[in-house]
């Protein structure tokens, strides 16, 4: 595969990074996760909400004092070019990343040289299981005044790795974080929604979550397609257990039902009807099959 590196396209075998690089040594950087979906009938690759992802990438850099040296529009165009160079004709995950380029020793974010790279990889399923059995983590979600979860900082994902690893070692598929105050936050790489009494609820940004783009898409679907009452509100742990339905959302995971939390059955123990409706809408939209939402989809070819 070819990758993008600081304004040029290189074969992966040509790419190198210094062992002294500060981004590598301290996790000083930010990244994005983007998906592109192949539509076999149209012979077309659609990138989902590409500009929205690069807008968030740029905002992550700004909040972390990491100046991204290219505009969202430049990165938008280079991403399309990268997919064409690689002749991608399948579902892929796209990873833009910006790291501190200096090789100085101190773990600071001062300095103008920041290095932007983009790569893509074949990607089918983040979890192959149709529904998940999850646990509430013993690890607390990073607070907004620690490493801001509203950005996507590379170093901050050690917190995610600890929670996800703990869950899997204990026989679960994934974890759910609580905030320092005990409110439900999100998964290690996913936002969370619950449905109770035909109302859709998700934690607010203030509960240390990322403003997910798939999360926003679900909000739009709830409002415009399902006509479903929707609330951003702080949720307690016990509200998870008593939910009628629950699901994760995220670029990598898509829409994924949660059927058990801490060995408690959620709803009927199967994907709920509302979750299924949302997932079906989403799956159609990302492949360019819903004309109403074609503005979300950037064609590559």
Task: Give the chain's radius of gyration (CA, Å).
Answer: 19
If DSSP states are collapsed to H, E and C, what string results for 29-92? EEECCEEEEEECCCCEEEEECHHHHHHHHHHHHHHCCCCCCCCHHHHHHHHHHHHHHCCCCCCE
Query: H or E stretch including 158?
Result: helix 157-169
What average pLDDT does range 181-190 have in this prediction? Answer: 98
What average pLDDT is seen over the chain? Answer: 96
Q: Looking at residue 53, what is its pLDDT?
A: 98
- Are the C-beta atoms of 257 and 265 separated by less than 8 Å? no
Q: What is the pTM of this model?
A: 0.96
What gap in Å lies between CA 228 and CA 244, rounded to an integer? Answer: 14
Query: What six digits make up the tokens of 192?
Result: 């969370």
Contacts of 169 (CB under 8 A, 6+ apart): none
Q: Looking at residue 44, what is its pLDDT?
A: 98
Q: Give the CB-side neighbour count of residue 117, counting CA atoms within 13 A.
A: 17
pLDDT digits (tens, 9 = 90+) for 243-277: 999 999 999 999 999 999 999 999 999 999 999 99
Report the percent of the chain where pLDDT is more than 70: 100
Contacts of 263 (CB under 8 A, 6+ apart): none
Confidence grade of residue 85 (pLDDT, cut at 50, 70, 90) = very high
- Are the C-beta atoms of 195 and 245 separated by less than 8 Å? yes
Sign of CA dihedral 210, 214, 215, 219: positive
Q: Looking at residue 104, what is its pLDDT?
A: 84
Query: H or E stretch including 78?
Result: helix 72-85
What average pLDDT does range 38-47 have in this prediction? Answer: 98
Contacts of 14 (CB under 8 A, 6+ apart): none
Query: What six digits make up the tokens of 128?
Result: 């192959």
pLDDT digits (tens, 9 = 90+) for 134-177: 999 999 999 999 999 999 999 999 999 999 999 999 999 999 99
Q: Is the pLDDT of residue 33 over 90?
A: yes
Q: Looking at residue 105, what is its pLDDT?
A: 87
Listed by start position, the domains of the chain span: 2-122, 132-286
**Per CATH, which fold does 132-286 belong to?**
D-amino Acid Aminotransferase; Chain A, domain 2 (3.20.10)
Top-tier CATH class for 2-122: alpha beta
Q: Looking at residue 111, what is its pLDDT?
A: 80
pLDDT digits (tens, 9 = 90+) for 197-233: 999 999 999 999 999 999 999 999 999 999 999 999 9
Q: Looking at residue 125, what is its pLDDT?
A: 87
């Amino acid at each position: 595969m070819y990758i993008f590196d600081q304004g040029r396209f290189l074969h992966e075998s040509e790419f190198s990074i210094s062992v002294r690089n500060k981004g590598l040594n301290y996790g000083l950087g930010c990244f994005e996760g983007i998906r592109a979906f192949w539509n076999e009938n149209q012979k077309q690759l659609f990138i989902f909400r590409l500009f929205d992802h690069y807008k968030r990438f740029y905002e992550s850099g700004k909040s972390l004092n990491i100046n991204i040296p290219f505009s969202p529009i430049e990165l938008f165009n280079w991403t399309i070019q990268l997919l064409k160079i690689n002749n991608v004709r399948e579902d892929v995950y796209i990873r833009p990343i910006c790291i501190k380029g200096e090789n100085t020793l101190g773990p600071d974010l001062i300095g103008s040289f920041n290095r932007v790279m983009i790569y893509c990889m074949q990607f089918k399923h983040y979890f192959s299981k149709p529904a998940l059995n999850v646990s509430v983590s013993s690890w607390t979600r990073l607070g907004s005044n620690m490493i801001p979860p509203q950005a996507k900082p590379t170093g901050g994902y050690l917190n995610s790795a600890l929670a996800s690893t703990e869950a899997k070692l204990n026989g679960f598929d994934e974890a759910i974080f609580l905030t320092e105050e005990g409110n439900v936050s999100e998964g290690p790489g996913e936002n969370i929604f619950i449905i109770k009494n035909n109302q859709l609820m998700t934690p607010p940004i203030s509960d240390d979550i990322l403003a997910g783009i798939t999360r926003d898409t679900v909000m739009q679907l709830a409002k415009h397609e399902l006509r479903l009452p929707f609330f951003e509100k702080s949720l307690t742990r016990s509200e998870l257990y008593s939910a009628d339905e629950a699901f994760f959302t995220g670029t990598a995971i898509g829409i994924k039902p949660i059927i058990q939390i801490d060995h408690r059955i959620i709803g009927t123990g199967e994907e709920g009807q509302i979750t299924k409706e949302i997932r079906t809408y989403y799956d159609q939209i990302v492949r360019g099959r819903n004309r109403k939402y074609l503005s979300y989809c950037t064609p590559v070819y």
